[in-house]
Amino acid sequence: MKEPLFSIRMRAARGDRHISGAERLAGADCLDGLAAGMVKRALGHPKGLPDSISLTIEEIDLSRLMRIGLPDIRTVGVDSVAQGRNAALAGLLRAGISEQAARSAMQALAGGAAPNGESMRGAMLVDALDGRRLEFDAARGVRVSRMDLEERAAAVLARELQAIGLNNTHVQEALVLAAKVLHAPGVLAELCWSDDPDYTAGYVAAPCLGYVRFPLLKPRGEDRGGRAFFLAPGTDVTGLYRFLEKQAVLVDRVGRMLPDERWRACP
Ligand code: AMP
């Protein structure tokens, strides 16, 4: 990537309803092409046409840029949404999240985690022990920002994902986001399923598990989804917001592609 480096990000909404977002880091020569692609994406989202699209471009302080690697990737095969959620629950328990916290976060995502029963614009923060919600604004949550995949790593990842039939923007972007989240101080695990009605897959990510993808975590047509970041009790939430929203992170190494497997359901 050519220096200086810029963060370019897009948010599209209709009224209070978040429609789509995107995050990239790029040199000045790529910004016009990326901006055009982001506007096109905002206008073509299955959640509908936005009534506002914001694009922000800001130079990154290179002396503070952090370089990290992607987690390992595996898929856990499931035959139904119930089985998928049960397997995701098993993953969260393995990552040290209490059953109470994991179940209450899943219930919140399924019912729409924003106060009006819709999806949040960002992620919920959940105490990994008692399940308390810790984000400052329950409609906005925390937005993970200022991250991207370095070009060589992007090419390797595309090749590796291609080989397992998963080379799509959803997976690539979710991996980069999960990589940053797993490097955040205090985060023990992440749970995600999309709010895109056409996309039924989701994942659990944790340092001890890597990025574990479940092809069915919600029914097709459902437009409620979201993300939950589970925090070690006593985490400095203000510092965590600062890291997730402001720290620029470049992913320059891909993880391993682990064999697919099936997980035992939770007791
Ligand atoms: P997506 O994976 O883009 O379909 O997003 C699914 C949900 O994750 C959204 O409804 C948001 O609640 C949340 N989300 C999307 N992008 C971000 C982000 N950059 N930071 C935090 N949460 C996000």
- Quick one: which atom of ligand 1 is closest to the CA of 227? 8
CA distance 105 to 122: 14
What does the DSSP 8-state code read for residue 133?
B
Q: Give the three-state DSSP class for 130.
A: coil
C-alpha span between 177 and 70 (Å, rounded): 9
- Ligand 1 atom with the shortest distance to the CA of 20: 3
What distance in angstroms lies between residue 100's CA and the mean position of ligand 1's atoms? 23
Q: Which two tokens stand for residue 26?
A: 């790029």
pLDDT of residue 267: 43
Distance CA 155, CA 162 (A): 11
Distance, CA of 175 to CA of 133 (rounded, Å): 24
The owner of tokens 């937005």 is: 143
CB atoms within 10 A of CB 240: 21
Strand, helix or coil at 252?
A: strand
Query: What spacing in Å lies between the alpha carbon of 5 and ligand 1's midpoint?
Result: 24
Nearest-atom index, ligand 1, CA of 119: 10
What residue ranges line ligand 1, CB within 6 angstroms? 21, 119-120, 122-123, 143-144, 174, 177, 192, 194-196, 225-227
DSSP-assigned states of every residue in 226-250: EEEEEE-TT--HHHHHHHHHH--EE
CA–CA separation, 61 and 6 (whole Å) = 9
Per-residue pLDDT tens, the chain, 267 aa: give them.
788 999 999 999 999 889 999 999 999 999 999 999 999 999 999 889 999 999 999 999 999 999 999 999 999 999 999 999 999 999 999 999 999 999 999 999 999 999 999 999 999 999 999 999 999 999 999 999 999 999 999 999 999 999 999 999 999 999 999 999 999 999 999 999 999 999 999 999 999 999 999 999 999 999 999 999 999 999 999 999 999 999 999 999 999 999 898 876 544
Neighbours of 157 (CB within 10 A): 23
For residue 224, report the distance from its CA to the centre of ligand 1, in Å.
11
Cα 17 to middle of ligand 1, angstroms: 13
Rounded to the nearest whole angstrom, what is the distance from the C-alpha of residue 195 to the centroid of ligand 1? 8
Cα(203) to centroid(ligand 1), Å: 12
Give the CB-side neighbour count of residue 122, counting CA atoms within 13 A.
Answer: 20
Partnered with residue 162 across adjacent β-strands are none
Nearest ligand 1 atom to alpha carbon 244? 20
The residue whose CA has the least distance to atom 4 of ligand 1 is: 194
Per-residue pLDDT at 265 = 52
47: left (phi over 0), alpha (psi -120 to 50) or beta: alpha
Residue nearest to atom 1 of ligand 1 (CA): 194
Cβ–Cβ < 8 Å for 211, 171: no
Take atom 10 of ligand 1 and give the residue whose Cα is closest. 226
Predicted local confidence at residue 101, as pLDDT: 98
